Copies of this chain bind each other. A is one copy, B any other.
Amino acid sequence: MHRPLKQPRMTREEKARDTYMRILEAAAQVVGDDGYADASVSKITRLAGVAQGTFYNYFESRQHVFDKLLPYMGRQMLDHIRASVAAELTGADREEARLRAFFAYLAQHPAFYRILYEAEIFAPRAHAEHFRLLADGYKGALGRAVERGEIQGYSEPELEAVIYMLLAARAYLSMRYVHDGKGGGALPDHVIDAYVKLVTRGLFTPPGGPGGGGG
């Protein structure tokens, strides 16, 4: 029944960290629900359970939380994808796994859709940075595929363009098939098939080389 010896539940620093995170998470949820445009400071602080003024002890301005949102959730998403994709997968199989992992993350974190795609408008710096990060990761992966001979006939700058097209595909497929709402959050199989087919044929060379035993 007595109080445990442990110090006050949180040190001052921990408490500050906690408040920061509460505000950030609240912002994520509000933006996810209402979009950046309607994510007022008052909604965010109300949800976070702090006073409006407190907000400005942790963020310089409303825009500043917005700028933190995508980096914060984007890292989560990348971690999720990385953890989901088996290390030994290569080529188109790896692509498929990444796509599935992305949509799985989206299904678990519905707020992420708006945080990500509205960021181009409301947090353009963060958005650009996020895409650079994604693209860089991708570049490494495709670079290794090139080295393994899985990909042929694309120059390095061309590969960058391809990467943006793949990221684009993700975005629009989630917009069209998930966010619009009938699918209940899951991507239909034929859509995954189409993606895999396009990428396999378009990017990855079948083992025997192009024109080999493809099909």
Contacts and interface: CB of A to CB of B under 8 A. Distances in A.
B165 A173 contact: yes
A37 B39 CA distance: 13
A177 B135 CA distance: 14
A180 B124 CA distance: 10
B164 A172 contact: yes
Interface in A191-215: 191, 193-195, 197-203, 210-215
B175 A120 contact: yes
Interface residues of A, number: 48
Given A118-B121, A171-B172, 14 more contacts: A35-B121, A154-B194, A154-B197, A155-B190, A161-B176, A161-B177, A162-B194, A162-B198, A171-B171, A197-B202, A201-B210, A210-B215, A211-B211, A211-B215
16 contacts: A128-B180, A154-B197, A158-B193, A159-B194, A162-B198, A164-B169, A165-B168, A165-B169, A165-B172, A171-B172, A198-B198, A198-B202, A199-B202, A202-B202, A202-B203, A211-B212
Interface of A: 35, 37, 117-118, 120-122, 128, 131, 153-155, 157-159, 161-162, 164-165, 167-169, 171-173, 175-177, 180, 188, 190-191, 193-195, 197-203, 210-215
